[in-house]
Amino acid sequence: MQQTSATITAERKQSHVDICLHREVCFDGQDPGLDSWRFEHNAAPEIDAAEIDLTTVFLGRRIGLPLMISSMTGGYGDALSLNRTLAEAAEKYRIPLGVGSMRQALEDSSHRESFAIVRKSAPSVPVYANIGAPEVAAGLSSAQLSSMLDLIEADALIVHLNPAQELFQPEGSTAFRGFLDKLHTISATIPVPVIAKEVGCGISAIVARKLADAGVKAVDVAGAGGISWQKVEECRYIDRFNHEERFTPSAIDELLNWGIPTADCLTGIAALKKRHPEYLPLSVISSGGIRNGIDIAKSIALGADIAASAQQLLKALHAGKLDRTIETWANDLKAVMFLTGSATIEQLKQASIHKKS
């Protein structure tokens, strides 16, 4: 029996989660670059640790700590339970949550509840809709945009940029021409902010500038150092085509590990904002290999407003440790803030941090 486009999308979404949980798909020998940075210790912090405030404002909303549960999934059977649990955690800790790509919700109504459950379970925190750059480049109608935003009562729209993933995906779309013009139109017409997000290869300062010029209010750098979605899709390709080669063996490793480390993305965009103050309002999310609260703190000191994680929180959820993971990350962050004399997230942004020699 011939599969429909919606069925293929649903099966792909489920395989993505399974591969991220059970296979080695992180970058080889490349961390996000955050380990190369060290905070300057403050031996006289002049603050009380008990008074440290983790709350911050992101895209006009006050949140409980500078952490976002990054876009993961939706659009297949098991995603409903997964998204419910993630949303309950987001509500408990008052942090933003992005849903996975909502292409499936546009193709088929059968799994719309796997997205709608997020708003039902997280009624008071920021929730972000999500669609891919290829769908934007192909053209989205006002009705389609409204459908996605209304389904979860979205506070923003994430547009994920994934050229490397699409290149490796067996059924991927590499038609990106005209994307920035279409993105500009969307940014100017929808009633919520647009967040441009990579999926693991990073956003350079040059691209961040183009995205800001296209009207986006925030970029999620999603740099190299976490999941390589090229590897995820290569796993699917090998499973499907029995190890048939499509790239030169001497080239494949570099392609699978292609990208800009997260720390380099952050410092590059920070330098852009310093040189060109007109880009200062552009908010920045650090993701791509975030492993603990120290990574969150370093990200903020290097120019991010908040950090985000997908794989680590997904693994924690499946291990029954999601709440405890978020709490320990918050404890890590508080420890760094105390040891740098930063009573607030705004003060942490000014903390002294240096590249290791």
Structural domains of the chain, with CATH: 5-355 (3.20.20.70)
Question: Model confidence at 343, in pLDDT bands (50, 70, 90)?
Answer: very high
pLDDT digits (tens, 9 = 90+) for 228-282: 888 888 888 887 776 667 889 899 999 999 999 999 999 999 999 999 999 999 9
Nearest CA-CA partner of 293 in 318, 313, 274: 313
How many helices, marked H, and strands, marked E, lie in the chain? 16, 12
- Quote the tokens at residue 349: 């942004």
Could you tell me the end-to-end alpha-carbon distance of the chain, in angstroms, rounded to an integer?
Answer: 61
Q: Measured between alpha carbons, how far is 146 from 135 in angstroms, rounded to an integer?
A: 15
Nearest CA-CA partner of 226 in 309, 110, 318: 309
C-alpha distances in Å from residue 46, one per residue of 17, 110, 340, 350: 45, 56, 10, 16
Q: Residue 22: which residues within 8 A CB-CB, separation 6 or more?
A: none
Which range has the worst mean pLDDT, 27-36, 57-66, 135-144?
Answer: 27-36
pLDDT, averaged across the chain: 92
Question: Model confidence at 158, in pLDDT bands (50, 70, 90)?
Answer: very high
Q: Measured between alpha carbons, how far is 258 from 268 in angstroms, rounded to an integer?
A: 18
pLDDT digits (tens, 9 = 90+) for 278-306: 999 999 999 999 999 999 999 999 999 99
State the pLDDT at residue 1.
43
pLDDT digits (tens, 9 = 90+) for 91-113: 999 999 999 999 988 887 877 99
Across 194-206, average pLDDT: 97
State the pLDDT at residue 17.
73
Q: Measured between alpha carbons, how far is 229 from 84 in angstroms, rounded to an integer?
A: 24
> Other CB atoms closer than 10 Å to residue 29's CB: what's the count?
6
Name the pairing type of β-strands 56-58 and 61-63.
Answer: antiparallel
Nearest CA-CA partner of 148 in 197, 191, 95: 191
